[in-house]
Amino acid sequence: MKTISKTLLGLMITASATAVNAKDLVIGITQNNVGVDSYQTTYEKAFKEAAGNTEGVETVVLDAGGDVARQIAQIQDLIQQKVDVIIIWPTNGKAVVPAIRKAKQSGIPVVVTNSNVAEEGQQFIESFSGPNNIVQGAYSAEMMCDALDGKGEIVQISGQPGYTTAIERQKGFEDRLAVACPDVKIMETQPGDWNREKSQRVMENFLTKYDNIDGVYSGDDNMGVGALNAAKAAGREGIAFIGATNFAVGYEAMGRGEYWGSVYQSPVDDAENALATAIAIANGEEVAKLNYFDTPKITQENMANFTKPVF
């Protein structure tokens, strides 16, 4: 199922068509950490495929490996190479701001993908392309309210500390939960760093500490399934598991009735949107500052309307 918005679909078509008649473009991208999860691996593959299928576009594809210093150095290298546009998937939305400022001062437009930069960096970017993580967190809160009928005690497994996506999904969830169902209480929050094994250990600690856990909210299904595995191993049943990005393992667990719900997000759409946005900006087209694509709720009830994620 394609979840790309109509606006961005039009942008992609226009940008690709224009690029054929434009001068050759060189677009550099520095990614967060391709090896950390299958979403980022699929994103990189989709980005390369989309670029390879777009005439007149060359790319320099880099990966920071989760290292802020390495990403800053990569941005500086792309500035030295005088690429036409730099796409950044930030390792840390605040730490990369000085490097983004330098790119703007050098006359190179910057597109931020997937996870936005800190507020002070917004003046230096041309556009953000990706999901609305605040909304995703809010959707997850609404699903938690439904799963618990508005009352219960839950724990939260957040993403990587300092990472904008993790911050926004947590904020969106907590803010919406407080309004939609104030009788659902978050007992504790611990980071899972987008890692299934670490999240399983975090959940094991929660299970030891709390005799009753009604629900678990995780920043993505990779972490959520880690928590689910811990609960199954401990024989703890009746827990509602909610994620904020649906992975294949979450989809499968949903099909088995073990996982309550998540938010559907395509890394292919994510990658294609970023590339299309960069091409449009390089070709002088007007692009919205925030280019969100649709990320709907997915639950056991409606999962048949969605294809299984490829990551």
pLDDT interval class at 34 (50, 70, 90): very high
Asked whether the predicted pLDDT for residue 250 surpasses 90, the reply is: yes
Q: Tens digit of pLDDT for each residue in 270-291? A: 999 999 999 999 999 999 999 9
- DSSP one-letter code for 126: S
pLDDT interval class at 199 (50, 70, 90): very high
Residue 293: predicted pLDDT: 85
- Residues sharing a CB contact under 8 Å with residue 62, sequence separation 6 or more, in sequence order: 28, 29, 30, 31, 74, 77, 78
Quick one: tokens of 239?
A: 């827990």
**In 3D, which of 239, 256, 238 has the Cα closest to residue 300?**
256
| Domains by residue range for the chain, with CATH | 6-131+266-294 (3.40.50.2300), 133-264 (3.40.50.2300)
Distance CA 277, CA 8 (A): 8
Instruction: List, edge to edge, every strand of the sheet that includes 110-113.
Output: 57-63, 25-31, 85-88, 110-113, 127-130, 290-292
How many CB atoms sit inside 10 A of residue 173's CB? 29
Assess contact for 227 and 93: CB atoms under 8 A: no
pLDDT interval class at 310 (50, 70, 90): confident
Distance of CA 202 to the CA centre of its chain: 21
Q: Tens digit of pLDDT for each residue in 110-130? A: 999 999 999 999 999 999 999
What would the mean pLDDT of 165-172 be, rounded to a whole number? 95
